[in-house]
């Protein structure tokens, strides 16, 4: 976990967590001058976006009931943890699956 980051990287990291549009804006802002800190949070948010889409699509075809609600709340909690980490200038992996997000999306720099 790192506490040091430049202002641009921190700003991009925070923007990445503000909906899908914010994530796209963060990618565009990070496209010219690559910032490792910003890329870290962009990868975390991509994982959360895809996880959220997966749960939404799955719930359209399978009645998840209370389990679907629990998954949605869990994704919200993971998003809050990532967002707070970005605000605090930390590279805080989202619990449970954040390390996998970094590995799976390592091509995003």
Whether the predicted pLDDT of 59 surpasses 80: yes
Residue 20 has pLDDT above 50, yes or no: yes
Confidence of residue 3 (pLDDT cuts 50, 70, 90): very low
> What's the pLDDT tens digit per position in 27-55?
999 988 888 999 999 999 999 999 999 99
In the numeric block, which tokens belong to residue 2? 């790192």
pTM of the model: 0.86
Q: Which residue has the tokens 């910032």?
A: 35
Where are the domains positioned within the chain? 7-104
The answer to whether the CB of 82 falls within 8 A of the CB of 92 is yes
Judge contact between 41 and 86, C-beta under 8 A.
Answer: yes
């Amino acid at each position: 976990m790192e506490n040091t980051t430049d202002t641009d990287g921190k700003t991009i990291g925070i923007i990445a967590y503000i909906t899908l549009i914010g994530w796209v804006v963060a990618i565009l802002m990070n496209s010219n001058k690559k910032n490792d800190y910003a890329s870290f949070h962009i990868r975390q948010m991509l994982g959360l976006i895809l996880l959220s889409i997966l749960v939404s699509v799955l719930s359209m075809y399978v009645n998840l009931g209370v389990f679907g609600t629990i998954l949605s709340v869990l994704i919200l909690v993971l998003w809050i943890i990532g967002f707070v980490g970005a605000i605090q200038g930390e590279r805080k992996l989202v619990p449970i699956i954040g390390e996998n997000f970094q590995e799976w999306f390592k091509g995003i720099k």
